[in-house]
Structure 1
Amino acid sequence: MPNLPTLAKLAEDLESGRTTSRKLVEECLSRIADPAGEGRRAFIDVDKQAALTAADAMDGLREVNAAPSRYAGIPISIKDLFDVKGQVTRAGSRALDDSDPAEHDAEAVARLRRAGFIMMGRTNMTEFAYSGIGINPHFGTPKGAWNRAEGHVPGGSSSGAAVSVLDGMAHAALGTDTGGSCRIPAAYNGIVGYKPTQRRVPLDGSVPLSFSLDSIGPLARTVSCCAILDAVLANEPIVPLKPRPVKGMRLAVPTTIALDDLDAAVAQTFERALEALASHGATIERVEMSEFHDIGPMNAKGGFAAAESFAWHRYLITAKGDVYDPRVAVRIMRGEAQSAADYIDLLNERRSLIVRVNARIAPYDALVLPTTANTPPKIADLADDKAFTTANLRALRNCTLINMIDGCAISLPAHREGEVPVGVMLAGAGGSDRRIFELAAGMEAVIRV
């Protein structure tokens, strides 16, 4: 990954006149257009003229001290799941090609726009956000960070979002996370991805996968970058992030499910990160989380994602099922077999799960676990449906635990230069977002040493 700037550094450069929004946008456009790069697969649409016009407007406002925020003029990308006024929202699918252009921005997009961020375009994604791998048969699959000559998956569903940040085609990205769709691409590409407490960011204007689990979050280069964007998305003041000292942190490593069947590189990198934290004074306890055993049975019939996506798709998939990715369609159709009683059971079981897990983790500052069980698979190895399903479930497993408990979580890169990307996830109960950011900021420099 090139040595690319943080949002704070970009803001400083804009304020000092060392750069302009126009220059930043032009640099991003050049990287997107590079025929040797991943731009044509990372983006479904590029808003070249609109981005340049908006950049000129932000430069003009800054000249008269009227920029809407310190970050006005910084280019970001938008996942194709979000409405942008005047554009068609395809959600990575050909089934929505003939939809009317959006009449309004999604609320998350509107908040970023009000802060002055520049929309570079719509990023590619797993069709309808229904996979943690990032393969898209309609628009292509951008290659992830690891060994691009071979071609490894970028992670999903916010695949193009992560690659746009990785390659400097945008300086941050707007994504979503239903079972890991911000954190998995972050882990696979050596960047940071955040899943907030769901209720903090409105879902209005985004195509749903599961309205019980969907969360809207950022992908960026550092913990601080994600904290800035999260504050904008949650309509909260942007306040300086004060890292917590690692010394004195009390962290719980769940031994139930989260450490099962790890790739060797994931296990090695995770243990090394724990050793680094312990050497800096963190207390780390391995804790059995028997409650996690309940999640598999809850999802046995497809869980919330199948039930709620089928409710949204049932007419569209009847009319246009032939243009859906078959791997997505089969997951959606699992919802057809769920009864109202099944769904009510799910709601009640989840409420109980959240109460029990929150009580279990209350004595700790956070949970710490591998973001994914696997390293990024080769794209070519997933042509087989069985191999794809196995890889997808392993990618999603640990992240899904946190969505099911209505928690918040961040994925931090833990590998060293030259090693396969591996993410370490820090997670907490719903509402502990600020604490998770402070802890992650303290851990960020320590876990890669």
Structure 2
Amino acid sequence: MTRPLTIRTAAAALDAGTTTASTLADDALSRISDPAGEGARVFIRRNDQRARHLAAASERTRAAGFSRSPLEGVPISVKDLFDIAGETTLAGSVALKGRPVATGNAPVVSRLIAAGAVITGTTNMSEFAFSGIGINPHYGTPKNPYDRATGRVPGGSSSGAAVSVTDGMAVAAIGTDTGGSIRIPSALCGLTGFKPTARRVSAKGVVPLSTSLDSIGPLAASVTCCAIIDAIISASGEGVPEAAPIRGLRLAVPQTVVLDGMDKTVAAAFQRTLSALSAAGAVITEIEIPEFETLSGIYARGGLVAPEAWHWHRALLEEAGDTYDPRVKARILRGRDLSAADYLDALAARAAWTAGVTERVRGYDAVILPTVPIIAPEIAPLVADDTAFFAANGLILRNPTFFNFLDGCGLSVPCHRPDEAPVGLMIAGTAMQDRHILSVGLAIEAVLDAVRGE
């Protein structure tokens, strides 16, 4: 697996005139169309004419001596949850086919276009974003770029988003993250993904899963790429932060739950990472976070996702419930039997839980842990067996979900060797620490790249 093109590399080539926006767009579109590739499973909707028009407009802007942002002329894919004017948003489902087209773009899409990005299309996903695996029975499942001969899951729910980047169908992708749906596919596919504090990026014009937990962010080749896109879609106007000094960086490693069930590849990569960071001068501290043991109980009583998903889906399930992926439908229907009191209990539990975790990580620059405790499992056994599917889904979602429930922010950066299956390191913080976590991520990424020889 080769490292994908970075935004800065693409921008430098465009600035130097060694490529053009149209060339980049045509290359991305040809990769999508390649019958030997994953494009048919990666994209649900594509509009080649729109992409070429956006590329041509970017070239005219550049010819006039302007560049609207580092994304000027850069191909970007968007998860199939976001409204794009003139198209029906399908959310990885067939239940919404035939619905009215969107009358306008989601703000995130508008901000990307205003920044000069070239939208290549909308990407495949777990239906209605309700799985960390990435399997979709309606549109197919994109294969993880690692070990395609075996056929491994890409991770979800932003499955097509990740593979669009690894396979050069976009330089970066926009995904959503309710319980890890940006960080999981990034980890399993060898990318960098950033889940911001949810409130920082507008979710208007985006099909929701859980309005309390949904967040919107990028999947790309580097922390710098993620910082560039985050500044644009959040409308913060901030540039890429400086890397934090690695020497003296205070990093907490939870010992509660998050290291359970690690396979040998992940365990080895994580231990090498801790050793490399310590050797570089970071201060690694093992801590207990007992609240992590209680979250599964909160979710078992219903949590927030099931009632909030049921609220949005209840009418659609009556009309088209027989078309849903049965595994997705079953999880949504759990919300039907929860009362308002159950929901209010979950909100109160979240507030108390968040206060407890926040106090335990106070004084640390970041919390670090394996993004996912296992490498990408094979697709076929999970398609065939509900028990295997739900066991893998729960394990894959476990670590990222802690930081959604915390209303925090988090990066996943690759920490595996080039010849190994992809493994992600999560670098996480509490609410509104986004810029700081990106700064810490830049420092850690530099250490890991040196270890990886990149």
TM range (shorter): over 0.9
| Counterpart amino acid of residue 371 in structure 1 | T
Distance 2:83 2:55 in 1: 21
Matched residue, 2:368: 368
Distance 1:238 1:37 in 2: 37
- Deviation of 1:4 (Å): 3.5
Secondary structure class of the residue paired with 2:27: helix
Q: Check the 8 A contact 2:75/2:172 in 1, yes or no.
A: yes
Does 2:450 correspond to 1:444? no
Task: Name the CA shift for 1:376/1:3 in 2 (closer, same or farther; >3 Å).
Answer: closer
Q: Check the 8 A contact 2:4/2:165 in 1, yes or no.
A: no
Distance 2:65 2:267 in 1: 50
Written as runs of structure 1 = structure 2, the 5 A alignment for 1:10-409 is 10-382=10-382, 383-409=384-410
Distance 2:289 2:71 in 1: 41
- Deviation of 1:182 (Å): 0.2
- Deviation of 1:302 (Å): 3.2
- Deviation of 1:146 (Å): 1.7
Q: Check the 8 A contact 2:7/2:70 in 1, yes or no.
A: no
- Deviation of 1:2 (Å): 3.7
Q: Check the 8 A contact 2:84/2:102 in 1, yes or no.
A: yes
Matched residue, 1:411: 412
Secondary structure class of the residue paired with 1:444: helix
- Deviation of 1:301 (Å): 2.9
Distance 2:361 2:4 in 1: 36
Consecutive unaligned residues of structure 2, counting only runs of 5 or more, are none
Superposed CA RMSD in Å reads: 1.0
Secondary structure class of the residue paired with 1:218: strand
Q: Check the 8 A contact 1:155/1:376 in 2, yes or no.
A: yes
- Deviation of 1:152 (Å): 0.1
Q: Check the 8 A contact 2:106/2:206 in 1, yes or no.
A: yes
Distance 2:209 2:4 in 1: 32
Q: Check the 8 A contact 1:302/1:331 in 2, yes or no.
A: no
Task: Name the CA shift for 1:238/1:24 in 2 (closer, same or farther; >3 Å).
Answer: farther
Q: TM-score, normalised by structure 1?
A: 0.98
Matched residue, 1:427: 428
Consecutive unaligned residues of structure 1, counting only runs of 5 or more, are none
- Deviation of 1:3 (Å): 4.7
Distance 2:162 2:3 in 1: 16
Distance 1:177 1:388 in 2: 20
Runs of 4 or more above 4 Å deviation: none
Secondary structure class of the residue paired with 1:99: coil
Q: Check the 8 A contact 1:145/1:188 in 2, yes or no.
A: no
Q: Check the 8 A contact 2:302/2:342 in 1, yes or no.
A: no
Which is worse superposed, 46-55 or 395-404? 46-55
| Counterpart amino acid of residue 417 in structure 2 | R
Q: Check the 8 A contact 2:227/2:240 in 1, yes or no.
A: no
Secondary structure class of the residue paired with 1:409: strand
- Deviation of 1:291 (Å): 1.5
Distance 2:81 2:3 in 1: 29
- Deviation of 1:400 (Å): 0.2
Aligned length: 449
Distance 1:104 1:309 in 2: 24
Q: TM-score, normalised by structure 2?
A: 0.97
